Amino acid sequence: MRVAMLAPIAWRTPPRHYGPWELVTSLLTEALIARGVDITLFATQDSFTSGALAGVCPRPYSEDPSIDAKVWEILHIAHLFERAGEFDLIHNQADFVPLAFSRLADTPMLTTIHGFSSERILPVFQTYRDRVHYVAISEADRHPSLPYAATIYHGIRLEDFPFDPEGSEDLLFFGRIHPDKGAAEAIAAAKAARRRLHMAGIVQDHAYHQHAVAPSIDGDQVIHHGPVGGADRARTLGSARALLHLINFEEPFGLSVIEAMACGTPVIAFNRGSMPELIEHGVTGFLVNSVEEAVAAIDRAGEIDRAACRAHVERHFTVDIMADRYLALYRSILSGRGIGEAADSDYL
């Protein structure tokens, strides 16, 4: 089986610190290669893989302002489709633009929808729903107007996230500094609970950071460490009393949520989007509806068995589970199943 894996080019694959789509693409690519799938990864030229790497964009546009995102995304996607005949299947991880190329090649195409940035992009997915197989990353993110081949949760390598049975008394916010991710709410909850808050992540919305976050960063009660990657990522996620994930949008998935639980850290999240699918209330964390409820949950975080958090991830959110389900789906598509005919039960 020859598969073209199309990664985004906002960040390197795998990313140096931030880049959730690129991270999932890399994890899946390497796991499938280990299962004997012949994969060519289409990504930035500074990416790396144990398979073949095909790239035209020299560096990620989010790291190099000289890279025009629109120009290089088109060149990147065109590069794959000019070679489409070499592959049995195209797996698109790079959002909606590649869909517009899908009828220009005979090769079957699968698209993992990592979320909808807005309702305005839906017409593209709707236009090509008779040509492209869609995968949702959570039940919460399925759109009623689209057919889906499956819902396949993201998975992580457990060995990259060592279990910390103790944690600490401090709280953690781990994500981009943006209103969607609830950085200000995490600060408010930590202050009300009178606990130190460590914050890790890129500043994505500078105006929001300036007026809602920065005034509280004092290096003592609220500490911002910037983006954290590599081994420091796991240490940061594991050494907390709880992860505060007080999101302000219908999040399609939350990698930091399952990464924290893998380390043993319970998660306190607003009950929105995919959170009820990721967190078992009262067992691996708490689903709350307000900052006040989050403060009460912080007091109860010590009731959570940290070993149960890791066991939950091991049962549901490993890279092996993700890779096996995708491989089953690949085989189903190549066997001639029509768009939308596949059932999730086929891949369980």
Pairing mode of beta strands 38-42, 171-174: unpaired
Number of H-type helices and E-type strands within the chain: 11, 13
Q: Is the pLDDT of residue 339 over 70?
A: no
Q: Is the pLDDT of residue 340 over 80?
A: no
Mean pLDDT for all residues in the chain: 95
Beta bridge partners of 113: 136
E strands present in 201-337: 222-224, 242-245, 267-270, 285-288
* List of domains in the chain: 2-155+318-347 (3.40.50.2000), 158-316 (3.40.50.2000)
Residues 6 or more apart from 295 whose CB is under 8 A from it? Answer: 189, 192, 193
In angstroms, rounded to a whole number, what is the distance separating the alpha carbons of residues 191 and 240?
16
Give residue-wise pLDDT tens across range 41-56. Answer: 999 999 999 999 999 9
Q: What residue has token string 């998935």? A: 253
Instruction: Give the pLDDT confidence score for residue 231 in this predicted structure.
Output: 86
For residue 65, what pLDDT band results from cuts at 50, 70 and 90? very high
| Buried-state track 44-68, b at ≥16 Cβ within 10 A, e below 16 | bebbebebebbbebebbbbeeeebe
Q: Is the pLDDT of residue 346 over 90?
A: no
> What percent of the chain stands above pLDDT 70?
97
Beta bridge partners of 134: 111
Instruction: Give the pLDDT confidence score for residue 345 in this predicted structure.
Output: 44
**Phi and psi for 100 in degrees, rounded to 5?**
-65, -15
Instruction: Give the pLDDT confidence score for residue 59 in this predicted structure.
Output: 97
Contact in structure between 134 and 98 (CB atoms under 8 Å): no
In angstroms, rounded to a whole number, what is the distance separating the alpha carbons of residues 276 and 272?
7
Contact in structure between 78 and 101 (CB atoms under 8 Å): yes
Contact in structure between 156 and 255 (CB atoms under 8 Å): yes
Contact in structure between 283 and 303 (CB atoms under 8 Å): no
Pairing mode of beta strands 89-92, 150-151: unpaired
Length of the chain: 348
Mean pLDDT value of segment 113-135? 96
The residue ranking higher by pLDDT, 346 or 15, is 15
Query: Which amino acid, 277?
Result: E
| Structure-block tokens of residue 298 | 């912080």
Using the Cα atoms of residue 180, residue 246, residue 143 and residue 340 in order, give the sign of their dihedral. positive
Give residue-wise pLDDT tens across range 202-232. Answer: 999 999 999 999 999 999 999 999 999 888 9
3-class DSSP state for residue 194?
A: coil
Q: Is the pLDDT of residue 239 over 90?
A: yes
Give residue-wise pLDDT tens across range 183-204. Answer: 999 999 999 999 999 999 999 9
Instruction: Give the pLDDT confidence score for residue 342 in this predicted structure.
Output: 52
> What percent of the chain stands above pLDDT 90?
94
CA-to-CA dists, residue 110 to 39, 125, 231, angstroms: 14, 12, 32
| Farthest-apart Cα atoms in the chain, separation | 60
Contact in structure between 243 and 219 (CB atoms under 8 Å): no
Instruction: Give the pLDDT confidence score for residue 336 in this predicted structure.
Output: 85
Give residue-wise pLDDT tens across range 77-105. Answer: 999 999 999 999 999 999 999 999 999 99
